[in-house]
């Protein structure tokens, strides 16, 4: 297999912007600091959900390191009048934009953590640690009475996030909070005095939901279902039309590492309730995840939560990582759909033999024998994937997408009806191929050209 080097468009670069605070909860004017960021001064930019093996996740937005030139005191703290930070460096908003001829796309939005800022006097540089926007949630605490007993999980999540410190950075709206599983909170004071992020994570896992933060800071709570968008089309090196846009596929696996055939829930009374998928446990093995939800006590709510989590993760779903040019995926988001056409390399069966062609040549005779198929992996384009992790490398202008097959059962997870017949990589009609005779209607209308495929009369 030849190495594919993605072309870099002229004008491709990353821009960096900072918005300092003018008071505790008020931000000033955004300032572009691109020219003050040193070469290779931006490390990898990552966001993910459910991407860690062997566990249920809800969301992850990585930290970012920036190295800036500080030869004129530009990035010093507010005690230096030359500084761009009039109030405090801490919690300064930082926006990183990927730019090429197609326009600007925000790839990272975070907050400077000033306690990690370091100034190097000899090299005249300032190193910043930029935390993702959701980090503001971890700086707050749940006040007593914030979550009332008997409210919906939707209302409880909104109550946790609707704090001045959080809403000064993130856009919080009740209409954007739509948990996948609905239930009521039995014990509201179970959240009292918890770190807000810990409380939020518990409710996200219990409601089988995840949190997404847009490039403009809008918070959305939603299910793990794929976004209703056109699928990103990816092609391997042996695509018939030479459309290759994938650098590499790695870490391909069956998804067993994220599969649970049993869910154990410990409730607020200390009682354990177990939910099992016996048939799948017999096929794939018994693997239990244990969760503690002190805010639940009623059997009805516990059953709703436990059954939903089991249904989401009890079937294996293929996962893999693809490396692609950043320009190809700069506008894609977590949970977007992806199709991969990664066929095997086809070579003639022997020297002097020709590759068979459907429609103009006979397949399988001595002149056109069935060809050899070479390669360690093939991925069919009708398998539907969703993005569960995006990792941009600003130095190489490439990105790695971690993908997971959509769906929750053994039979779903495809772009077309799974009952459709497949020959090689093509879907033919919508009926089953392989009747038992000319009177069997199953082979009709599945045809190649005008011939019946698979009946006893047309072998």
Each residue of 76-130: pLDDT tens digit? 999 999 999 999 999 999 988 888 777 778 778 889 999 889 999 998 999 999 9
pLDDT of 314 over the 50 cut: yes
Is the pLDDT at 50 greater than 70? The verdict is no
- Indicate the pLDDT class of residue 205, thresholds 50, 70 and 90: very high
Average pLDDT score over the chain? 84
pLDDT score recorded for residue 414: 94
Give the pLDDT confidence score for residue 437 in this predicted structure: 45
| Per-residue pLDDT band at 394 (split at 50, 70, 90) | confident
The pLDDT of residue 424 is: 47
pLDDT tops 50 at residue 328: yes
The pLDDT > 90 percentage for the chain reads: 58
- Name the band, by pLDDT with cuts 50, 70 and 90, for residue 402: very high
Give the per-residue pLDDT at 395. 83
pLDDT at 47: 78
pLDDT at 443: 39
pLDDT value, residue 203: 96
Q: What is the pLDDT of residue 242?
A: 87
In the predicted structure, residue 426 carries a pLDDT above the cut 60:
no
State the pLDDT at residue 20: 95
Sorting pLDDT into bands at 50, 70 and 90, what band is 46? confident
pLDDT value for 299: 97
Higher pLDDT, 375 or 406: 406
The pLDDT of residue 197 is above 80: yes
Task: Check pLDDT > 80 for residue 346.
Answer: no
Q: Is the pLDDT of residue 201 over 70?
A: yes
- Pick the more confident residue, 249 or 346: 249
pLDDT of 459 strictly over 70? no
Q: What is the band of 9 on the pLDDT scale with cuts at 50, 70, 90?
A: low
Mean pLDDT of 256-271: 94
Task: Give the pLDDT of residue 331.
Answer: 86
Q: What is the pLDDT of residue 52?
A: 61
Specify the range with the lowest mean pLDDT, choosing from 23-32, 178-187, 317-326, 448-457: 448-457
Please tell me which residue, 421 or 197, carries the higher pLDDT value: 197
Q: What is the pLDDT of residue 363?
A: 58
Q: pLDDT-derived band of residue 39, with 50, 70 and 90 as boundaries?
A: low
pLDDT cut 70: percent of the chain above it: 81
Work out the pLDDT band at 241, boundaries 50, 70, 90.
confident
What is the pLDDT at residue 245?
A: 93
CA 118 vs CA 76, 94, 115: distances in Å = 10, 17, 8
Segment among 33-47, 82-96, 345-359 with least mean pLDDT: 345-359
- Greatest mean pLDDT range, 46-60, 414-428, 440-454: 46-60
Position with higher pLDDT, 456 vs 165: 165
- Residue 2's pLDDT is 56
Task: Name the band, by pLDDT with cuts 50, 70 and 90, for residue 445.
Answer: very low
């Amino acid at each position: 297999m030849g190495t594919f080097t993605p072309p870099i468009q002229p004008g491709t670069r990353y821009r960096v912007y900072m918005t300092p605070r003018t008071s505790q909860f008020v931000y000033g004017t955004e300032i572009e600091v691109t020219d003050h960021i040193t070469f290779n001064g931006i490390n990898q930019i990552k966001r993910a959900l459910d991407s860690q093996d062997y566990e249920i996740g809800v969301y992850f937005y990585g930290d970012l390191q920036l190295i800036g030139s500080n030869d004129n005191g530009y990035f010093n703290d507010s005690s230096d009048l030359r500084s761009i930070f009039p109030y405090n460096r801490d919690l300064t908003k930082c926006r990183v934009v990927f730019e090429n001829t197609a326009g600007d796309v925000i790839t990272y939005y975070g907050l400077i953590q000033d306690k990690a800022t370091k100034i190097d006097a000899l090299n005249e540089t300032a190193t910043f640690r930029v935390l993702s926007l959701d980090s503001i949630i971890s700086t707050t605490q749940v006040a007593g009475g914030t979550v009332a007993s008997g409210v919906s999980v939707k209302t409880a999540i909104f109550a946790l996030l609707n704090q001045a410190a959080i809403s000064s950075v993130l856009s919080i709206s009740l209409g954007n909070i739509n948990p996948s599983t609905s239930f009521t909170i039995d014990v509201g004071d179970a959240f009292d005095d918890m770190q807000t992020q810990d409380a939020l994570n518990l409710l996200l896992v219990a409601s089988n939901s995840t949190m997404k933060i847009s490039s403009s800071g809008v918070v959305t709570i939603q299910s793990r279902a794929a976004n209703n968008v056109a699928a990103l089309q990816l092609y391997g090196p042996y695509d018939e039309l030479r459309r290759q846009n994938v650098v590499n596929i790695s870490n391909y696996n069956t998804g067993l590492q994220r599969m649970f055939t049993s869910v154990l829930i410990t409730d607020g009374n200390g009682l354990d309730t177990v939910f099992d998928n016996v048939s799948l446990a017999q096929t794939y093995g018994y693997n239990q995840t244990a969760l503690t939800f002190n805010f639940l006590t009623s059997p009805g709510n516990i059953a709703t939560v436990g059954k939903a989590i089991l249904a989401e993760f009890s079937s294996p779903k293929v996962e893999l990582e693809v490396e692609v040019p950043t320009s190809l995926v700069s506008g894609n988001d977590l949970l977007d759909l992806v199709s991969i056409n990664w066929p095997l390399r086809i070579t003639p069966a022997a020297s002097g033999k020709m590759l068979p062609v459907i429609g103009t040549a006979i397949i399988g005779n001595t002149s056109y024998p069935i060809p050899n198929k070479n390669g360690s992996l093939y991925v069919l384009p009708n398998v539907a994937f969703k993005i569960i992790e995006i990792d941009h490398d600003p130095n190489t202008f490439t990105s790695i997408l971690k993908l997971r097959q959509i769906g929750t059962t053994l039979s779903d997870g495809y772009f077309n009806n799974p009952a459709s017949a497949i020959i090689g990589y093509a879907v033919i009609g919508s009926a089953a191929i392989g009747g038992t005779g000319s009177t069997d209607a199953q082979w009709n209308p599945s045809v190649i050209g005008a011939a019946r495929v698979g009946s006893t009369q047309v072998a």
